[in-house]
Amino acid sequence: MDDLIPIEKVIKENVRVKALENQGFIIKPERIDEYLEEFKNRTTRLPKEDYWKEKRVLITGISGFAGSHLAEQLLDLGCKVHGTIRRHAVPMHENIEHLRGKIKLHEADITSAERIFRVFEQIQPNAVFHLAAESFVPTSFREPARVITNNIVGTIKIFEAARRFDDELESVHVACSSEQYGLVNPSEVPVIEDLKINPFRPRSVYGITKCATEQIAWLYHEAYDVPSIITRGFNHAGPRRGIQFVTSVIHRQIVEILNKQRDYFVVGNPNAIRDFTHVKDTVNAYILLSEKRNYAEPYNVCSGKGITIADYIELARNIFNISVKVYVDSSRIRPSEVPLLIGRNDKIINHTGWQPVRSIIDIIKEGVKYFQEHPEQLGIEAH
């Protein structure tokens, strides 16, 4: 407790953030009813089952957070779903355990050309969703060389395989990131896909690898006509999110507080503003864009609204009627922080009819419920 700072001493006011709030781009707990009103009767376009039925689909990183949700939706559409997984000493992949027997798994290191080529040759995929990446930003500060190798070299191997086994290939989706935008000037928010207006200024090795991932996808389309689909996903959250990510850090602590296992919150930077989208909405966007096949064109996948981490906690406390104190652990703050990321989603809405239909309340409630149902993941420190 000696190293923890009461959150009240760390909260900062920002004039531009206040202006964004007045423009409706910031979610505030005290105005949550206005925000939720926007979700009433909102609908989104869904993928066409007759397009996806019986398609052979490969998901790299299928056992991850987004990969597992994507697999569920593709199965519902009637796809034959394959996925790559990394070899582990103990073959446990909890996120996809409930899908055993419905999906075909292939052990593969995506940086191994020989193995990836063999997987492509076996499957002859109609669609690829490339999600395999080291996605936790702090890891890219601790192990930059490994993250670069996995995220960039792995992507090259996927696209080399795609151009060699492309007879029936209709799309190769790459899950890029809002971290590519990085240090966004407050006057540039909310960000759009035009790099003349919102250039890339990544603030982490992870962000750099995602800039490279996008450029690889673009280049292979231009040079080899690989059918590249590019998304720049902002923060997505919901059930099965890794315990080290901020929403799960908060959701787990809520469960521990409700269980009387702890009596205070601990977080990193409470002033960071992020644009959260429910993972089910995010993977729906991936599928719709792959179906639309507007190749090598980047799309933000985001809610269009941001919230400070401090207000995310406040909202969660209100939902569960929790009144405990909140502290900041400075050791959890990144060496090079991205203070503000909110995206515009007009482009994807206009092109596909997609919209986020699940609110931040859904994200919090479902995230908490997941950890209530998985108590074995409580009581673990995550940084």
Tell me how far apart the alpha carbons of residues 75 and 211 are, in angstroms, rounded to a whole number. 30
State the number of CA atoms in the 13 A half-sphere of 287 facing the CB: 31
Q: State phi, psi for 293 to the nearest 5 degrees.
A: 60, 50
Q: State phi, psi for 78 to the nearest 5 degrees.
A: 90, 15
Token pair belonging to 353: 């009819």
User: Which residues lie across from 262 on neighbouring strands?
Assistant: none
Tell me how far apart the alpha carbons of residues 31 and 167 are, in angstroms, rounded to a whole number. 53
- What pLDDT score does 338 carry? 76
Please report the beta strands in 119-198, taking only residues with DSSP state E, as ranges in sequence order: 127-130, 171-177
- What pLDDT score does 10 carry? 86
- What pLDDT score does 337 carry? 72
State the number of CA atoms in the 13 A half-sphere of 303 facing the CB: 31
* 229 Cα distance to chain centroid: 16
- What pLDDT score does 12 carry? 83
Tell me how far apart the alpha carbons of residues 151 and 176 are, in angstroms, rounded to a whole number. 10
pLDDT (tens digit per residue) in 302-352: 999 999 999 999 999 999 999 999 999 887 776 667 789 999 999 999 999
Token pair belonging to 56: 């052979």
pLDDT (tens digit per residue) in 187-218: 899 999 999 999 999 999 999 999 999 999 99
- What pLDDT score does 163 carry? 96
- What pLDDT score does 383 carry? 43
Burial degree of 49 (CB within 10 A; 0-12, 13-18, 19+): exposed
For Cα atoms 372, 266, 328, give the angle at the middle one, nearest 5 degrees. Answer: 160
| Domains annotated on the chain, with CATH | 4-42+239-275+305-342+359-377 (3.90.25.10), 49-236+278-301 (3.40.50.720)
User: Which residues lie across from 301 on neighbouring strands?
Assistant: 233
Adjacency order of strands within the sheet including 4-6: 4-6, 325-329, 264-267
Q: Mean pLDDT, 10 residues at a time, over the chain (383 residues)?
A: 83 83 94 94 96 98 96 98 78 84 95 96 98 84 91 97 95 97 91 96 95 98 98 96 92 96 92 96 98 97 97 96 92 74 97 98 98 85 51
Q: State phi, psi for 333 to the nearest 5 degrees.
A: -90, 135
State the number of CA atoms in the 13 A half-sphere of 27 facing the CB: 30
Measured CA distances, 125 to 47, 169, 277 (Å): 18, 6, 28
Tell me how far apart the alpha carbons of residues 190 and 186 are, in angstroms, rounded to a whole number. 8
Tell me how far apart the alpha carbons of residues 78 and 86 are, in angstroms, rounded to a whole number. 25
- What pLDDT score does 134 carry? 84
The closest alpha carbon to 283, from 248, 341, 231, 319, belongs to 231
- What pLDDT score does 138 carry? 79
Tell me how far apart the alpha carbons of residues 281 and 69 are, in angstroms, rounded to a whole number. 10
Measured CA distances, 40 to 31, 102, 168, 281, 316 (Å): 16, 35, 41, 16, 21
- What pLDDT score does 159 carry? 98
Q: Which helix (H) or strand (E) holds 232?
A: strand 228-233
- Report whether the peptide linkage leading into residue 339 is cis, meaning its omega lies within 30 degrees of zero: no
DSSP-derived 3-state class of residue 222? helix
Tell me how far apart the alpha carbons of residues 139 and 277 are, in angstroms, rounded to a whole number. 22
- What pLDDT score does 330 carry? 80
